[in-house]
Amino acid sequence: MIYSQFQAHQPFDNRFAGARGLLMFAAGIAVLALGLILLPLLFLAAAISTLVLATFGRQWLKGKLAARQASHDGSAFGRFRFDDSFQPRPHQGRTFDHDPAD
């Protein structure tokens, strides 16, 4: 029964026939061709920008780090940050548990 329905009425005949179908086919081919042409250019741009960032980004960061260290050399922040005189208090034998019911 299903076979006879498709023999009598082709559902795709009206949808892809004539100038409209040909125009959609040409548009699809154009999109595919444009994608294949532009994709290597996109990869090339990504590779060039990665190389530029890897080359000059390190120098830029090095300059920023040197400027930041120069501004913090005499400040209290610089002394506090690199001070190794911290001594932890000895354990006093108490344990504090968190009880969500309280």
Question: What is the per-residue pLDDT across 31-47, written as a single tens digit (0 to 9) for each?
Answer: 999 999 999 999 999 99
Angle at 92 between CA 90 and CA 97, to 5 degrees: 120
Question: How many CA within 13 A on the CB side of residue 17?
Answer: 6
What does the pLDDT read at residue 21?
84
Check pLDDT > 90 for residue 78.
no
Give the DSSP letter string of 18-29. Answer: HHHHHHHHHHHH
Angle at 48 between CA 46 and CA 50, to 5 degrees: 70
Instruction: Note the pLDDT tens digit of each residue in 12-36.
Output: 666 667 788 889 899 999 999 999 9
What pLDDT band is residue 8 in, cutting at 50, 70 and 90?
A: low
> Across all residues in the chain, what is the average pLDDT?
78
Q: What distances in angstroms separate CA 32 from CA 26, 41, 59, one per listed residue?
A: 10, 15, 41
What does the pLDDT read at residue 16?
67
Task: Find where tokens 């009425």 sit.
Answer: 9
Could you tell me which residue, 82 or 71, shows the higher pLDDT?
A: 71
